[in-house]
Amino acid sequence: MGAGVIGKEGGSGRRGRRRGGRARPMAEINVTPFVDVMLVLLIIFMVAAPLMVVGVPVKLPETAATSLPADQEEPLTVTVTAEGAVMIQTSEIPREELITRLRAVAAERESDRVYLRADGVVPYENVMQIMGALNRGGFKNIGLVTEPGGPSLDSGN
């Protein structure tokens, strides 16, 4: 992708020759490798982007909050659907087994951070019960996941 050097014998006819025998720099940049790399990256991102979304569809409430910093390991996500089902990542868990499963997961993880996703129609009481179960299961750092762009409570700023 950089500039090359045309040697004594390079070039076409007399234009490529110099008296001192020194090579002159080639003034053209070959962009073909750059385009190839960009196309490969485009394909990789097009394939990987749909995989980065957690597979449980919920309608998250919208807020004006900023996002949390990213973790080193894959974040643990607990989801409460509109029907009230509780899911760890994409596996549905009965509410009676939730704390037991959370303790087992917490024992295997380095981080105590968990993201709680709840559909906007789920009653506040149910969300707080799940938060209490997360706390009892060993997760003290709970992040509530929302959609950006919601209403801001300040006076238009």
Top pLDDT among 61 and 113 is at 113
Mean pLDDT (the chain, rounded): 79
Kindly report the pTM of this predicted structure. 0.54
Q: How confident is the model at residue 71 (pLDDT cuts 50, 70, 90)?
A: low
18-44 confidence digits (pLDDT tens): 555 677 777 788 888 889 999 999 998
Domains of the chain: 5-51 (no CATH), 55-148 (3.30.420.270)
| Integer Cα distance of 91 and 76 in angstroms | 12
pLDDT number for residue 140: 87
96-150 confidence digits (pLDDT tens): 999 999 999 888 888 888 899 998 899 989 999 999 999 998 888 888 888 877 7
Residue 16 has pLDDT above 60, yes or no: no
